[in-house]
Structure 1
């Protein structure tokens, strides 16, 4: 992504014909005639670091009437003076917990979380204070005892060997004249804690212990400035957080608490000096996305007493987060243990088999007084929690955590079970968008699997504004790309975990940027050099254009319940798709030579695909649903072979139900609909026998499962896995009918084509990059009624089920037909 800020706006009211952007008196775009514009890239002189800039956009409509909107942004740091600091791990003074008996703590050798503090003096009134802060690991910062910022699990996960994000927090209101204290607690997080499932390297993927860097920039009322940074003047001690790990859980021993440690007046003479570990600032980068936040709390749906001091809490919803538990006064040393799980076993107790080595257990050791316990440096995937060690539960709630992407879409219809499916898809997105798009939030994995992300992305874009979230993740993807162009299977890259990219997984490095460009309209998503390097990598190792070499672990059509799609067919289809989309990306950027070269390559791959895998019209090698879906969706067949291939696909679906895995499922209903079989797509949607989406719903699912039927080896059975939830894109785009023309970006040219099936009504809305899109239809009084909202600056082609077509401008429109075909 470009470094210059993208200044964007969403439209309301009349269609614009021109715009002008002005930034803080330093740059103006001048009046630009562009009815399609919804953003402008800053192109003025270099911006000063650490500076707030006011900006405004003026839009003119056809009548010459202007309208103005205003906003602001702040720039980050260009240079750092602070040092990286840490607690000396070899000088940790443990307050060792018991190793046997009821109070034993299973700490896995994890170290206590260090508390770092720095007292400083503000000589007069402070007009502004900005805390720029990051960590190798996780941090929670306070200023005079007040939590700085509302982010959780900060600074987020990146490949720290390449890039470390920092946040900028406004802490002005907490700074007082005189003595002040910066306090920071550190935890291992993804940096040095347990991550993934590799038993040979369960932790220490990036480093051995967490480190901190921070600069507090003070601007006094008289205009003078001061910087308080991390250096050897900081002091470190240990308090009540005895360990914290994303997979294992977190332990608070309140007997070891140090009240007031992050406030003025605390005596830190017994604390140790920190260790300065380095001054390398080259990897620091400002966060481009919203952080993980605690976005809501959920009350229990049911509480069951398991014994005199044990309770089972059902929150009625599978989610990612942790518990907040109000505890009464307890005997000092009392150990309260919270275990988490997605499901129950046959005896009504927690079923933790699918967690593998993720203990997902939080512990509090009481100091006596009543308290509220909530972990700070961990999260779990769960619906159920077992709380032991306390006879009478106080208030308990589940705190939901996810990257705070603004919700953008709504969908509902006349079938309550389909509505539950949509809610399951939404909750799967929430639970797996935690700094990176993970596969699952519960077991010892939680990795940024690239196939899952690319398959689900169209649905994710309808549900929420994920532009910034995926802009950040695309940096992780590019950071993971090898010098010879190869993408891995997970991003951020994790050593030892499926490093060489598989077909459909590594291709996310091309498919994801293209989808984001289509939805949000920003060409900066398209890094043509990175995309072309991947295509050339595959080509270099497969000069005959059939992708058989360098396929990595080749997961094929993962978890497909039917016959296996030939691996080289599947791989070659994605090779063509990546070449084709990269050619289009080159065209967007005006790189004509690259576009022509890659178009020729895509055409040659298509020819090789037909020769190798299409022995006769309407037939493909392997004769699988996914094979036909890929060939039809990616345009791999001669025009005269398309109809017979679509008929064969429909025959297979009618005979067997869905037999697709991760790489075919997102295409299933869209391709059937595009080839005249919306009836069959609706039949799949409403199907209740396994494999089906509603089978999960009828069996109590509140998120989408990893496997169609929820069965299989317990160690490979996640109940919160969003890949099969990719059907959500068809709910918006097929059932409701919100789509855009092939050459359109950011919904400039809408195509509204509702596919009602046997539903009696449906409605959807979507806050697009351009403005609000809404569709609502119903069958009533023998007619089909359709209401459409087209955002300013857009047009729409509306297709009614009876074959009528209408071309309409922006605004609200009503349509009625009395006959459906």
Structure 2
């Protein structure tokens, strides 16, 4: 039976404040049949009871990104959408959705910007208030924006559960506004209160204050439609007042102070914000999902520092705040300090916070109090408590996990608990750092929208969650911050105020992120919006190119935080920065040509295709010798050349072998940074060396993903050596334990290990190609695509391979079974395949290349080694031997090869 399971309008279900007058529509189908595809559809839209638009029956299979083709929707209207679809089996199905439109351009709002009279350097939270009478209403809508961040209450009730509204945009150009239906809250006598805090607008940001303005201000209009249909408005003007309530201090970096004993100050008249009223930024409706409480977590244990200070362990690094429910004595002051880690002696590790105080203070009223900071957030796992004695009750505390409320779209699991924890760390890193913009970290005095971090993680992010609208909003700000010459800021929104930048990967986000979104969501809308920005960036690079079409000028971040960095290079790896810049120049030019093809720009397709060929030719002349040797054969350089197809065909095998040899030189470990790490695994898969990619993935010693997991990480680290093998912390002051860039391996887990990837944009056609690697005996993933759910599960146990797949209606897939020739073409439905194999994927925790120190970290393994190597592991040579592997030691004693092979077998059986 055919069924319409979901209808999306601008990628939202039943949106209450649609901001697009001609949105994209999409729907998902389900059926208990196989090989189901849509043959026709019909869309009818009603405005109340009146017909508004009827598409008629349209023959076609498109269902994921259908542009609304009727007359532009009207503002502030409620619509009903009725959908009928027909399939190739002669069945039909109906679906219905309701949606309301916002003000597409709020030109008829009568509100004025108002502000308070606090000193410019304040951190208090002024409350703007208006009392008004109202007759019975049939509809009440509140339109609200602020310079700063706000919460809003009507008659004592919170109007919204959104956090940090109106969000962070390029404030000088545009501010978001929110729309709230408050019909149920209107009474004959009413009090509307809007509390503001500095937030990103006037608070501490990137080493300074008041980047955008000196004082908070609000712009609000309450539109009341009375029972006889006439309209009354209550708008911000000089009739409003302001006062100070109980939120007495609030800053993102430093924390919040809530004083329940504080007596509200006497209301004072507001003043008009003359500059804003004269030169107000454009008001735009909410562009993406808001920040909300995603989860509530209880502390898992109570710890104590050496001096007896209690510390709550929430068991998970996260971004958010802690709620306290407590009845204390009047004036009792309770202080919460936040940190991601503990020092070896059990104290809070705060060195990586830099100047961020990360402290919340609560003053009790004497009655039952609930303290919830609303104008700050912290990156933390641990919280020290002062003012409640040595053993505060755990049930008084709740961690509120904050992040952009995007729908989860992926699940992953495999036979390795450590890899499953890695996947969880990737997801937690994303939800902690997608806080209205894609930030670099949630804990220290930074939390900025670094373009490079977002660029390398975007594909993994878009697999994990529906981030289309999230990135669409952020890319619009990227384009606004782009300089007239096409240069792209390194941070978006551009708080540096320094115009443009030119660093490869960071600025390439202008091209790579829109194309990634198109590939994974299939909506050409993102290319239509961003194409001018994409083209401007490529032309910026083109104007700077050498006569050989290379990029060899300007500041470059290089392979940031790579382990192969040399003395004097700071945090930049040893890969030639201009090789990276030229490689990405070629890559972005090729993507721009592809985008031009999607948009039907034939002349520009030809132009940029030719430019791409010229860049590749110049790159080959500069960086690849006549015999195929790469100048500076780092892992990053080799991976870039292989993945971006920068070498001539006759040189690719040698370059691939050079990458293999480099990994062997480093005992199967990576040395890459922000640029090389996201592409290294894909490059190995491209050259058919998933075995090496698997070895990189499963390394448990330093450096590697599972090294972090074995060190207790619950999010991704900024540096491979955030915690060194000796247990000490990196001391650079730039040591975030929640930094998602290296989590870009999540894309490889889904697209290569499990094997689900789009064959056509938006997964209209799907490639299913699982990869078997030693040490993983089964893997499974679910991906919610624009067409519905794709599932692939494989298992290789007891010499039997089993593959299960589930393909959504209205799509097709090519299935490549492991160890089988060719592929199988499948329509929608569920399928299972089982067949015998000689392959044995039994996990081996240790290999001949594993350093002894890694083996000695396991108590059972240490006992075996101590018995087999008496006196060697605790004598004078112990430190030297700890860094050696069995391969290093086997030649040092007679019969060593056989001895260590037997030892390895025993250790893997035991551990």
Structure 2 residue 118 is matched with structure 1 residue 89: yes
State the match for 2:310 in structure 1: 311
Q: Give the alignment's Cα RMSD to 1 decimal.
A: 1.9
**Cα gap change, 1:482 to 1:29, in 2 (>3 Å):** farther
State the match for 1:530 in structure 2: 533
Structure 2 residue 357 is matched with structure 1 residue 359: yes
State the match for 1:411 in structure 2: 412
Gaps of 5+ in 2: 1-9, 11-19, 566-573, 724-729, 840-911
State the match for 2:293 in structure 1: 294
State the match for 2:384 in structure 1: 386
2:805 to 788, 803, 814: 788
1:738 to 756, 759, 768: 756
Contact 2:552 2:581 in 1 (8 A): no
State the match for 2:773 in structure 1: 757
Q: d(CA) in 1 for partners of 2:165 and 2:369?
A: 25
1:272 to 269, 273, 276: 269
**Cα gap change, 1:270 to 1:704, in 2 (>3 Å):** closer
Q: For each residue in 1:94-115, what CA deviation from the matched residue of structure 2 results, as whole angstroms up to 9, or x when unmatched?
A: xxxxxxxxxxxxxxx5331101
2:763 to 728, 747, 761: 747
Cα offset for 1:274? 4.0
Q: d(CA) in 1 for partners of 2:144 and 2:632?
A: 54
Q: d(CA) in 1 for partners of 2:731 and 2:84?
A: 59
Q: For each residue in 1:154-207, what CA deviation from the matched residue of structure 2 results, as whole angstroms up to 9, or x when unmatched?
A: 11111101111111111111112x1111110000000000112x3xxx111000
Q: d(CA) in 2 for partners of 1:547 and 1:162?
A: 34
State the match for 2:733 in structure 1: 715
Contact 2:85 2:94 in 1 (8 A): yes
**Cα gap change, 1:617 to 1:775, in 2 (>3 Å):** farther
Q: d(CA) in 1 for partners of 2:544 and 2:798?
A: 62
Q: d(CA) in 1 for partners of 2:92 and 2:334?
A: 63
**Cα gap change, 1:309 to 1:710, in 2 (>3 Å):** closer
State the match for 1:96 in structure 2: none
Structure 2 residue 238 is matched with structure 1 residue 236: no
SS at match of 1:684: helix
Worse overlay, 356-365 or 277-286: 277-286
Q: d(CA) in 2 for partners of 1:402 and 1:580?
A: 34
1:42-53 map, 5 Å = 42-53=68-79
**Cα gap change, 1:617 to 1:60, in 2 (>3 Å):** farther
Cα offset for 1:544? 2.3
Contact 1:538 1:550 in 2 (8 A): no
1:542-621 map, 5 Å = 542-548=545-551, 551-552=554-555, 554-562=556-564, 564-621=574-631
Q: d(CA) in 1 for partners of 2:702 and 2:580?
A: 25
State the match for 2:520 in structure 1: 519
TM-score (norm 2): 0.84
SS at match of 2:80: strand
Contact 2:505 2:675 in 1 (8 A): yes
Cα offset for 1:814? 0.9
Contact 1:149 1:170 in 2 (8 A): no
Q: d(CA) in 2 for partners of 1:64 and 1:172?
A: 45
Cα offset for 1:543? 4.3
Contact 1:309 1:389 in 2 (8 A): no
1:341 to 335, 339, 357: 339
SS at match of 2:700: coil
Contact 1:48 1:75 in 2 (8 A): yes
SS at match of 1:700: coil
State the match for 1:106 in structure 2: none
Q: d(CA) in 2 for partners of 1:32 and 1:757?
A: 46
State the match for 2:711 in structure 1: 699
The number of aligned residues is 785
Contact 2:123 2:251 in 1 (8 A): no
Worse overlay, 572-581 or 24-33: 24-33
Structure 2 residue 323 is matched with structure 1 residue 320: no
Q: For each residue in 1:363-418, what CA deviation from the matched residue of structure 2 results, as whole angstroms up to 9, or x when unmatched?
A: 11223323121101000000100110112534111110000011111000000000
State the match for 1:30 in structure 2: 56
Gaps of 5+ in 1: 93-108, 259-267
Worse overlay, 793-802 or 367-376: 367-376
Contact 2:201 2:213 in 1 (8 A): yes
Contact 2:172 2:281 in 1 (8 A): no
1:55 to 81, 88, 97: 81
Contact 1:546 1:568 in 2 (8 A): no
SS at match of 1:368: coil
2:826 to 805, 808, 811: 808
Cα offset for 1:670? 1.5
**Cα gap change, 1:242 to 1:642, in 2 (>3 Å):** same
Cα offset for 1:677? 0.5
State the match for 1:456 in structure 2: 457
Q: d(CA) in 2 for partners of 1:545 and 1:791?
A: 48
SS at match of 1:746: helix
**Cα gap change, 1:350 to 1:389, in 2 (>3 Å):** same
Q: For each residue in 1:72-106, what CA deviation from the matched residue of structure 2 results, as whole angstroms up to 9, or x when unmatched?
A: 2222223222111111224x9xxxxxxxxxxxxxx
Structure 2 residue 688 is matched with structure 1 residue 685: no
Contact 1:310 1:390 in 2 (8 A): no
Which structure: larger Rg?
2
**Cα gap change, 1:248 to 1:497, in 2 (>3 Å):** farther
TM-score (norm 1): 0.93
Contact 1:801 1:820 in 2 (8 A): no
1:136 to 131, 147, 153: 147
State the match for 1:101 in structure 2: none
State the match for 1:350 in structure 2: 348
Q: d(CA) in 2 for partners of 1:221 and 1:307?
A: 67
Q: d(CA) in 2 for partners of 1:166 and 1:544?
A: 48
State the match for 1:95 in structure 2: none
